Structure 1
Amino acid sequence: MRFSMPARINHNAHLSAIHRNLGVHFENANRQMDQVASGHRVNRSSDDAAKLALANDIESETRVLQEGGRNVQQSIQMLQVAEGALAQISDISRRMRELAVQSTTLAYSESNRQSVNIEFQQLKNEVNRIAEFTSYNDLPLLDAERELAIQSGPSERSNDARIHIGDMRASGSQLNLAAISIDTIAGAQQAIDFLDQAQDRVMEQRNEIAAFHNRLQMSADTTATIVERMQGAESNIRDVDVARAVSSITRSQILSQTATGLAREADADISRILSLLQ
């Protein structure tokens, strides 16, 4: 009688393969559940080292751009504060010119000129007050000659935007109204000339601020568009396709259940063989 080679009971290659496949299915299911829970297809280097590094680089660059965008938005707000103050100074200077014109009339007595000059000097003091107290985040804006730099990107030089804002005090070099008075006809006539020049300078400064504001707004809009596209690129790399991941989880669970059933059958076969040998 010929006997075939007996099966090894202590080691069952078929059962080992089943257990190995079962571990793979459990690992796949757990990884996919982590992806669904986090919303990210790439969570760690073992998922995809190259894509994870690329996604992290894009995220880092995006944060730099977002910080630059915030700088630009704050600068726009700062310019709006300065422009509002200059609008007030412009209104006051127009009123001062009206008073100067009134003081040149021959119908005014010396007493009349003294009266309008009191208001004139008070308005001049108000111009000083506005210029000295206009600030943004504790940064004075109009009380001295200043060059303001706004960094809108990672490079300290190539992304700097600069604007010069002059000293807008009545006593400052831009307006040069410190010494004028309208208590005489000659003084009032001189004041009109000085006020015309001051109004021109205020208008020039407002125009410069408006142009710079528009430039910054365009920069902010461009940055927002770039950030949106970079976030989309990062999302394409990092984010999980939930429907596909759930389908894969279901498949892994089915395969795991099948492998578990096969493992139980293999264990039962071994148990039957052992019972026959007893």
Structure 2
Amino acid sequence: MEKLEVKHLTHHFGFTEILHDINFTLKKGEVLSIVGPSGGGKTTLLHLCAGLLDVEEGSIYNSFQSSAFAFQEGRLLPWKNVIDNIAVGLLARGDKKSEALQKSEEIALKFGLEEDDFEKFPKDLSGGMKQRVNFARALVTKPSLLFLDEPFSALDIGLKRELYTHLLESCKEDNMSILFITHDLMEGIRLSDEILLLEADPGHIVKTFTYDTPKDKRDDTFVYEESAKILQDKEIIQTFELNTLELK
């Protein structure tokens, strides 16, 4: 069984402890989100899990066969057009160019891009279009595990929902697992099997929220109701310092 297992993970930048004794397991087909305030170490944790940073203390065991990463910004290659940007991962793993381009065009259309967009370069794309390309590039390789670093934060609600749908379809069709970070509790509730609450200074897990309701059954009413519940949780209130926002 493919899984990502994090045990007793601690990390420092210089003399500052960023993460302390992190423990969790992400299994095949699951979606796990990490929520918490800014500066709590969420991105550092994601980068460690993705192998973008070296593990100092503790361990990360990753048995997933393949992975991909979608960042908050598109991070597209400015000298390549839309299709060539999407095809980067396919070509890097050795796919034939003709097959890579065909797969890239197919997924570009699936993600709402038009044929007229195929030859455009990143400088000619809106922020929303860049994120469509970003997600298409990450998913075209059909990774076993997808890492997401707040890729929805700057998008309008319509595009967010569209990308949510594509992600959940990929999870269902390909049994893909997702590890993502977000500030948006509603987003975590809509997409996750499990939410880890990360408190800052240093980042450590203070609570886990589990959701068993099938994701295709989580309509707006479900998300709003669960959001109202979670906002009453004392750990959520303390971690996000919600009590300091009360009107006097």
**Shorter-chain TM-score range:** under 0.3
Q: Tell me which structure has the larger Cα radius of gyration.
A: 1
Higher relative contact order (CA 8 A, sep 6+): 1
